[in-house]
Structures are given as structure tokens and as C-alpha cells.
Amino acid sequence: MNKIPLLGEKFPRMEVQTTFGKKILPDDYEGKWFVLFSHPADFTPVCTTEFIAFAKKYESFRLMNIELIGLSVDQNFSHIKWLEMIKEKFHIEIPFPVISDTSEGVSKILGMIHPDNAGTSTVRAVFVVDPDGILRLMFYYPQEIGRNMDEILRAIKAMMVTDTYDVATPENWPNNQMLKSNLILPPPVSIEEAKQRMKEENGFDWWFCYREWFNNFDEI
């Protein structure tokens, strides 16, 4: 039985068939972030709304060096026809590849096939992989609930900032009600540093200090 990869582990290397031809994950995306997301089935309403939303947000992802990859256990010809229908009916072209996981190899490795899910379709999963091929974030949704693309973007922005500046982000960053876009500093590692913390930084106590965020992604 395959073990589902954990956060912080290397994303499993796998060759996949997509609507853009064969790809090797994570090798073909080295140096970039990528979002691999599964959908239960082609030609279904919720999945169609999600693909349209991802397509409309595509440039926002690309501007942050993030690529998108869809996946379901449908055959490639089904993907192609469904994407053709989306373009014809909704005037939206899907600009990213979609994996045809007919053997369910990828889905089983990543825990996308739920035992109570009739065993034949994938749950709505999201896997975020960083430029070093490390799995950084996972979301799982039930079939009935569509995803929020802005939340996926927000979470990746937060990871980019925390990676670069060695900080943490508060709830709903950068729109936290209490701290707004400020960044939370890591806890002191010594008594002396704790004494100095409130003298040098803004905060509520030495263990809860924050620093202003200037919203400059060009530095990341």
C-alpha cells in the first residue's frame, strides 16, 4: 500500500498523460510552483465552474511563477471534448494541461480516491508543490463543494512571504482584522532575545510581535 506523501516531503516522481502531451512531475516544473488539482469528473456542473474560475485566474497564478495542472480519471478524449465544450458554451479557453489518470495511479498515490466515493472518481484535492519539488500544502474537498481559487492564491502568497522573510502570517493574511497585513515574528530563542524583543519590535508581548509588510512581491 502506497503511503500518501506528507507536507515537507518530496513530491513523488511520476509520468503522466495530459491534454498537452506527456509530462513528468515534478521534474518538468523545476524552478516553479505548481498546483495539481483533481476534479471528480468531466461534464459536471461544479467542475465546470471550477475550471472556468481557474482559467480566469490563470494569469494571476502565472505572474507569481505558479503553474496549474488539472486531473481526473477520465480518458484524454473526454478531457479534450469537455474543454472544447467549455470554450464553445462559455467562451473560455482552458490554458493549462489536464491529466488523464485512467489507471488511477496518481490518484491512489495521492489519496484522491476515497473509499466511500464509489471508488471510481476523485475527490476535489489540491496539492501545492514548491520550486524544489517539495509538497507544501494540501486541501481536500467533498464532491459537493466547489473550491475558492482566491484562497489557493492567498495561501501560496503567504508561503512565499514566510519562506523569504522567516515570519508567519496571521489568520486571513493580508486582511487580518487585528494585524491587517503585518507579519508575525518567530519566537525568541533565548531569555536575552525575549528581553530585547519588545524594545525593538511592535507587539503585545515578547512572544507575540509583528513587523510591517510592504507588499513588495518583486523582492521574492
Look up 209 and say whether it is catalytic.
Answer: no
pLDDT tens across 126-165, in order? 999 999 999 999 999 988 999 999 999 999 999 999 999 9
Range of the domain at 66: 14-147
| CATH assignment at residue 101 | 3.40.30.10
Rg (alpha carbons) of the chain, rounded to whole number = 20
Number of domains in the chain: 2
Look-up of cell digits 493580508: 174
| CATH assignment at residue 206 | 3.30.1020.10
> Is residue 100 helix, strand or coil?
strand
Amino acid letter, residue 149: M
Distance CA 120, CA 112 (A): 10
Residue 34 and residue 128 share a domain: yes
Distance CA 220, CA 213 (A): 13
Among candidate residues 25, 35, 36, 47, the one labeled active-site is 47
pLDDT tens across 175-190, in order? 999 999 999 999 999 9
Residue 80 and residue 122 share a domain: yes
Residue 74 and residue 141 share a domain: yes
- Domain assignment of residue 6, yes or no: no
- The pTM assigned to this predicted structure is 0.92
- Domain assignment of residue 53, yes or no: yes
C-alpha pair distances (Å), 141 with each of 9, 13, 36, 39: 22, 24, 14, 10
